[in-house]
A and B are shown apart, each in its own frame.
Chain A
Amino acid sequence: ETGVTQSPTHLIKTRGQQVTLRCSSQSGHNTVSWYQQALGQGPQFIFQYYREEENGRGNFPPRFSGLQFPNYSSELNVNALELDDSALYLCASSAPGQGLSYNEQFFGPGTRLTVL
């Protein structure tokens, strides 16, 4: 069983540029969540996708957007990059509901984004 994978591992961009980060969910998982983890901080929820629709969003501006594809992989897009966007971006996938109202999230290794 393949776990959650993310690409690229590292990325360097300059202010004002746009970036796309990718996530492949674990086999059988149809829900993907994205988190931003700034240096020395805990992860913060950006948004979640379920069956290709956004299903909850955290306190992030609209320049953070996402997509989920029919194979349940996902992209995180950030426009007009700012220095404060420098962080580790984590993707997590979870399985369809099986009688529990909460399903465990499995995290990928993350993408380290540096904005100069």
Chain B
Amino acid sequence: AQSVTQPDIHITVSEGASLELRCNYSYGATPYLFWYVQSPGQGLQLLLKYFSGDTLVQGIKGFEAEFKRSQSSFNLRKPSVHWSDAAEYFCAVVGGSSNTGKLIFGQGTTLQVKP
């Protein structure tokens, strides 16, 4: 069965520092992978997605992620974190038949940004 693991439940970085959030997936075929962000009281906003092609994908708000099939990973990165990036981040994979749209999410990583 497909699954997503986010090993870091909570991460604290200083404003201006670089960020990497880890995501590992379990999926037999080429996965459709996503990163979402959730601010308090808000729904999920899509940061970026990987379907195929270039393994380094660019997203909104200066985020990028790299798909590494050999490591079953899809880590999210940002070179310089802003205080407004403090939020909950979720990695997700499309489970089952891709056209049912069932998303399987990781547990999430809470990002705290120190001034």
Contacts and interface: CB of A to CB of B under 8 A. Distances in A.
A41 B43 CA distance: 14
Interface stretch (B14-22, B58-66, B99-107): B99-107
B96 interface: yes
Range, interface on chain B = 20 to 34
Nearest to B105: A42
B101 A109 contact: no
Given A97-B99, A102-B51, A102-B101, A43 B32 contact: no
B101 A107 contact: no
Contacts of A44: 105
A31 interface: yes
Contacts, number: 65
B90 interface: yes
Contact of A102 (B42, B43, B98): B98
Contacts of A106: 46
A102 B94 CA distance: 8
A48 B106 CA distance: 19
Nearest to A6: B43
A48 B101 contact: yes
Among the interface residues A44, A107, A110, which one has the most CB atoms of the partner chain B within 10 A?
A107
Contact of B43 (A55, A104, A109): A109
A53 B41 CA distance: 30
